[in-house]
Amino acid sequence: MKFEVVITISLKEGMLNPEAEAIQRAIAHLGFGVDHLRKRDQYRITLDAVDKQEAEKIAGSICERLLANPVIHTYEIEVI
């Protein structure tokens, strides 16, 4: 069966993110009041799996082996 999985990778709280800081400054330069900005990467993947549980397990494995660095990232998995 095919499952749609949404994986969201975020930097852990407290990790510096120069890209997000640059964007936040650019928004302030446009004249808008901005307090805080976080950037996350989201992957929407169509996976082969037997059931929802297996799809979730595969997605976890993809995060740990490929997409996320456990030292600096956290990840969320949602099977649709």
**Contact positions toward a copy of itself, by CB under 8 A?**
2, 8, 20, 23-24, 26-27, 30, 32-49, 58, 61-62, 65-67
Rounded-to-integer distance, Cα 61 and Cα 66, Å:
8
SS3 state at 13: coil
Total Cβ atoms within 10 A of residue 5? 21
Between residues 14 and 33, which has the closer beta carbon with respect to a copy of itself?
33
Cβ of residue 4: shortest distance to a copy of itself, in angstroms? 9
Cβ of residue 71: shortest distance to a copy of itself, in angstroms? 20
Rounded-to-integer distance, Cα 69 and Cα 41, Å:
13
Helix (H) or strand (E) holding 10: strand 2-11
Cβ of residue 72: shortest distance to a copy of itself, in angstroms? 17
